[in-house]
């Protein structure tokens, strides 16, 4: 069943066209990767899907026409973004950050249960719950950003470069948790520059180049595709 579908999706910054007619279709429960080099328009596409930028074209999410919906309405529908560069609230504590993630949820006891669940997922965050988020390491901040997005109880999680600037060990840990999240019936759209990592993790992928989707298909096929190998996998 389709969860997110965008058709002829176009985004422009003033006169500069960053996304030039993209089609995506993501099914419930899938893990899909979106790979591409710097400046391909991946982050722009993600931001527009989340309602942070205006776009032309069509978009439906969870069976609802999502065009012209504000970001807060989309969060309510179950679309959560883990922004590029984590975007944790640097001067708030870890637990305050998590509370902020539950901004649209009113029931206090269920928020408390959700926080406990996040702490189980990331024991490191539980150890540091009263620490100021700005003083966490990069990996811990990424954990916090993911945990915070999960507090909104999303149907679908959009992750923008979760591996950026992290040590390989930490990347492994983060992806392990993303896998766990996927097992709990949350659909994942993963934007990555690290194509190797993304193609090994996701079942299916889209390749984006200069604002267009140039290729898409199961990861194992893309991994052997000669143009993908040349451009993104180093030979």
Partner 1 sequence: MKELLTDHKISSLKTYFTSYRHAVWIGYVMIAVALIVLPFLVESTIGRTWVRILDFALIYGMLALGLNIVVGFAGLLDLGYIAFYAVGAYTWALLASPQFGLHLPFWVIIPIGFVVAGFFGVLLGAPTLRLRGDYLAIVTLGFGEIIRIFLNNLDHPVNVTNGPVGINLIDPISIGSVDFTKTQEIFGLIFSGAHIYYYVLLLLLLVSILVCIRLENSRLGRAWVAIREDEIAAQAMGINTRNVKLLAFAMGASFGGIAGGLFASFQGFVSPESFILLESIMVLCMVVLGGMGNVWGVVLGTFILAILPEVLRDISSPLQENILGKVWLDPESLRMVLFGLALIVVMLVRPTGLWPSKKNN
Pick one of 6, 148, 188, 222: the residue that binds partner 1 (CB under 8 A): 148
Q: 12 vs 40, 44, 57, 214, CA distance in Å?
A: 13, 9, 12, 19
Applying CB under 8 A, among 49, 149, 195, 207 the residue interacting with partner 1 is 149
Is 145 in contact with 86 (CB distance < 8 Å)? yes
Q: Which stretch binds partner 1 (CB under 8 A): 20-28, 70-78, 113-121, 221-229?
A: 70-78
Q: CA-to-CA distance for 30 and 42, rounded, in angstroms?
A: 19
- Candidate residues 70, 112, 117, 230; the one interacting with partner 1 per rule CB under 8 A: 70
Does position 64 interact with partner 1 (CB under 8 A)? The reply is no
Are 155 and 187 contacting, i.e. CB atoms less than 8 angstroms apart?
Answer: yes
* 230 touches partner 1 (CB under 8 A): no
Choice between 34 and 150, CB closer to partner 1: 150
Counting Cβ atoms within 10 Å, is residue 73 exposed (0-12), middle (13-18) or buried (19+)? Answer: middle
List interacting residues with partner 1 (CB under 8 A).
47, 50-52, 70-72, 75-76, 80-83, 87-92, 99-101, 103-104, 148-149, 152
């Amino acid at each position: 069943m389709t969860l997110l579908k965008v058709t002829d999706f176009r985004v422009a910054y003033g006169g500069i066209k960053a996304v030039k007619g993209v089609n995506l279709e993501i099914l419930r429960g899938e893990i899909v990767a979106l790979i591409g080099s710097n400046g391909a328009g991946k982050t722009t596409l993600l931001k527009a899907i989340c309602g942070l930028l205006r776009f032309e074209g069509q978009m439906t999410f969870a069976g609802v026409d999502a065009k012209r919906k504000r970001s807060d309405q989309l969060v309510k529908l179950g679309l959560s973004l883990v922004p590029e560069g984590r975007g944790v609230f640097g001067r708030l504590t870890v637990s305050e950050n998590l509370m902020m993630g539950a901004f649209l949820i009113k029931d206090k006891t269920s928020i408390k249960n959700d926080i406990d669940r996040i702490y189980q997922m990331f024991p490191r965050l539980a150890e540091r719950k009263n620490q100021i988020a700005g003083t966490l390491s990069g990996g811990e901040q990424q954990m916090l950003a993911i945990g915070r997005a999960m507090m909104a109880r999303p149907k679908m999680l959009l992750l923008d470069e979760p591996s950026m600037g992290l040590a390989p060990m930490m990347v492994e840990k983060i992806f392990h948790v993303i896998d766990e999240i996927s097992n709990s019936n949350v659909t994942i759209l993963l934007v990555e520059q690290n194509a190797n990592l993304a193609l090994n993790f996701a079942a299916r992928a889209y390749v984006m180049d200069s604002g267009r989707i140039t290729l898409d298909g199961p990861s194992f096929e893309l991994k052997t595709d000669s143009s993908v190998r040349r451009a993104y996998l180093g030979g």
